[in-house]
Amino acid sequence: MNRRLYVATLAGGAAVVGCANVHDAGIVAPVPSPNASVTPGSCATPDTTDTNVVYVAMSSDMAPAADSSGNSIFGFAPYPSLASEGIVPQTSAAVPVTTGQLVQFVNTEPSGSTIGHSAVGFTTSAFPALPYSFPSGSDAQLGTAITKTISPGTQTPWATGEIAPASSSVAGTACASQVFSTATTGTFYFGDFTTYDSAASMRGEIVVSQ
């Protein structure tokens, strides 16, 4: 499915940070249509030597795709090549992990881009229908576990806050989220705070198995 058809489908009502070396692969990403501002998170440093970490690429230039159930996903994909400075994923995909592995989100927009991204966990067992408004507090960094259980004092399970794009002044760097643990099996749905309730509607899945 191409981007134009994907956006048209959504518009028609379908339910639908740290530094590490990465290549920008020469991608020129379009600017998503934001619906709210998001609070910048800290810029954590991915440990590229830890094989227990599963990295998740975030990019508005990925092609949309469908999961095994036919749900539309867009803008997120596994990023196994982070440690070797591989090419940024070109197609969106669900992120498979096993219990006990760690998850970290990486903004893979090109160096010098101004596009930030975030991931906010849903409590639901499917993507919430549009229009959708995130609960208060979802715009800031929250939690350290991939779960559907809301964090105390909030209505959100977990959130990254905004993860900045690569710095144009420091070549080959990229920002990442805090590290999340995975202790419970299941499919965990999440969306980008600024674009989920828009035609761009960036959304993804983490599938945790034993």
Q: What is the pLDDT of residues 168-180, one digit of tens each?
A: 544 456 788 999 9
Query: Average pLDDT, stretch 77-105?
Result: 85
- What count of other Cβ atoms lies within 10 Å of the Cβ of residue 88? 25
Statement: residue 105 has pLDDT above 60: yes
Which domains are delineated in the chain? 1-210 (2.60.40.420)
Residues 121 and 148 sit within 8 Å (Cβ to Cβ) = yes
Counting residues of the chain whose pLDDT is more than 70, the rounded percentage is 70
Tokens of 92: 């969106």
Q: Would you place residue 3 in the very low, low, confident or very high pLDDT band (cuts 50, 70, 90)?
A: very low
Q: What is the pLDDT of residues 92-101, one digit of tens each?
A: 999 999 999 9
CA angle, residues 72, 75, 80, in degrees to nearest 5: 110
Better pLDDT: 88 or 108: 108
Q: What is the mean pLDDT of the chain?
A: 79
Query: Average pLDDT, stretch 21-36?
Result: 34
Rounded to 10 degrees, what is the CA torsion of 161, 163, 164, 165? -150
The span from the CA of 110 to the CA of 121, in Å, is 25
Residues 162 and 107 sit within 8 Å (Cβ to Cβ) = no
Q: pLDDT value at position 38?
A: 61
Sequence letter at residue 118: S
Whose tokens are 């409590």? That residue is: 123
Under DSSP, the state recorded for 29 is: P
Give strand ranges (E) for the chain: 53-58, 65-66, 72-73, 76-78, 95-98, 102-107, 120-121, 141-142, 159-160, 180-181, 186-191, 203-209
Better pLDDT: 141 or 45: 141
Q: Which of 37-41, 50-54, 171-175, 187-191 has the lowest mean pLDDT?
A: 37-41
Query: Average pLDDT, stretch 90-116?
Result: 91
